[in-house]
Structure 1
Amino acid sequence: MSQSSSETSHIAEGTRRTRGLNPAQDIALIGVFAALIAVLAFAPPIPIGNFGVPITLQTMGIALAGLVLGPWRGAAAAALYVVLGLLGLPIFAGFVGGFGVLAGPSAGYLLAWPLTALVTGFIARIVLRRGSVRWRVPLLFVAAIAGSILVTHPAGIVGMSINLEVSLREAFFFDIVFWPGDVIKSLVAAGAAALVHRSAPWILARG
């Protein structure tokens, strides 16, 4: 059997197994990825600029949730993480939590993450179904960076504009400093997600 045929069979088997997932397994995966995002938040944030938004690894966890779990479970994992943090668990960057973070410059980014995972997951589902295995990592990278560009950054810019009382133009230039890091984190997330889908294609959310 050729490599292509073997890969196709592997994906087909993964699809059959995915359809067999039960709600308990879905909930478990959502919880695991919410915990993963929280663990990544514990990595020391890198202060940058003077506007109070550090570089963190949380965004890589959000991308992974969408890329691995698909849109709905990925969004649920991101939403669970955000809700638990807003309820007071110190799981945001810098070991903080509570509704007070919504008055800070990071508010827009935090609130955007469930939608970011949703968009990333939808794009990932499309590319995994239609794209060649050879191009899986580049295509997943496109999905991750698209979610960031389309959702996270615009929401972050609006949040900084409101909470820092600066113009959207100024907030846009504050946001630019995060772009190179997002490219790197999206690439790492795409590589990790590709490995997961290669070894456990059944994990992707139902089609």
Structure 2
Amino acid sequence: MQRSTSRDLALIATFAAVVAALGVIPAVYPFGGAVPITAQSLGIMLCGSILGARRGAGAVLLMLALVALGLPLLAGGRGGLGVFAGPSVGYLVGWPVAAYVIGWLTERGGAPYRLAWGLGANVVGGIVVLYALGILGTAWRADLSLTAAAVGSALFLLGDVVKVVIAAVVARGVHQAYPGLLRRRTVPDETPVRA
């Protein structure tokens, strides 16, 4: 098991702050829904896309721990343990899982970062995985059927597709500027692929 370095800890703290900062953008409750549309899911995608699985999930867990302690870091100034009992609990629980999945897939793609691969990783983690957990949580806490919760989550889809594109484009730029964040992709004979 690799030990965390000071660089890893700095990246985790920085990206936890990025997710928190995206909470400053006001939340939108479409049609009076129970779960808000926020910019923070973009931060989750960036955590996985840029930091990878372990550090990306670590950044999100740090941010959620601060929220649990009562800091108002979620969109709309929400914080405290009560947010984990509301209809958005599935999305909150899904955030570190989504960041991990995005990061894991990004790491499988290796360096140099490929935009198409990054788009796919963000769709799988940031939409498929996050929606699956979010819908389950909403259905449970809002006492809805899974179908009703899934239909309600469809309001988020267009915005999340835009966030997927933004996250992948930003991640490509960051990985071009800091190529050491991802391991180089190799072909079957273990020869590094040239960029």
Fold shared by both chains (TM-score > 0.5): yes
Alignment pair present for 1:149 and 2:127: yes
The aligned length equals 184
| Greater shift in the superposed pair: 183-192 or 39-48 | 39-48
- Could you state the TM-score of these two structures normalised by the residue count of structure 2? 0.88
> How big is the shift at 1:187?
0.4
> Do the aligned partners of 1:72 and 1:205 also contact (CA within 8 Å) in 2?
no
Q: Comparing both chains, which one has the higher relative contact order based on Cα–Cα distances under 8 Å and sequence gaps of 6 or more?
A: 1
> How big is the shift at 1:148?
2.1
> How big is the shift at 1:51?
2.3
The residue number in structure 1 matching 2:34 is 52
Partner residue of 2:142 out of 164, 168, 173: 164
State the one-letter code of the partner of 1:167.
S
Q: How many angstroms apart in 2 are the aligned matches of 1:78 and 1:69? A: 11
> How big is the shift at 1:49?
2.4
Query: Which residues of 2 match residues 111-126 of structure 1 at below 5 A?
Result: 111-126=93-108
State the one-letter code of the partner of 2:55.
R
> How big is the shift at 1:75?
0.5
Partner residue of 2:44 out of 43, 54, 62: 62
**TM-aligned CA distance change 1:53 to 1:102, over 3 Å:** same
State the one-letter code of the partner of 1:27.
L
Partner residue of 2:159 out of 168, 181, 189: 181
> How big is the shift at 1:56?
0.7
> How big is the shift at 1:180?
0.8
State the one-letter code of the partner of 1:102.
F
Unaligned runs of 5+ in 2: 186-195
Structure with greater proportional helix content: 1
Q: Which whole-Å deviations, capped at 9, do the CAs of 1:121-172 have from their partners, x for residues lacking one?
A: 011111234xx76xx2222111111102332101110111111111111101
- Could you state the TM-score of these two structures normalised by the residue count of structure 1? 0.83
> Do the aligned partners of 1:85 and 1:92 also contact (CA within 8 Å) in 2?
yes
State the one-letter code of the partner of 2:86.
G
State the one-letter code of the partner of 1:126.
R
Query: Match of 1:178, SS?
Result: helix
Q: Which whole-Å deviations, capped at 9, do the CAs of 1:1-60 have from their partners, x for residues lacking one?
A: xxxxxxxxxxxxxxxxxx9x9611110000000000000011111221222212111111
Query: Which residues of 2 match residues 23-62 of structure 1 at below 5 A?
Result: 23-62=5-44
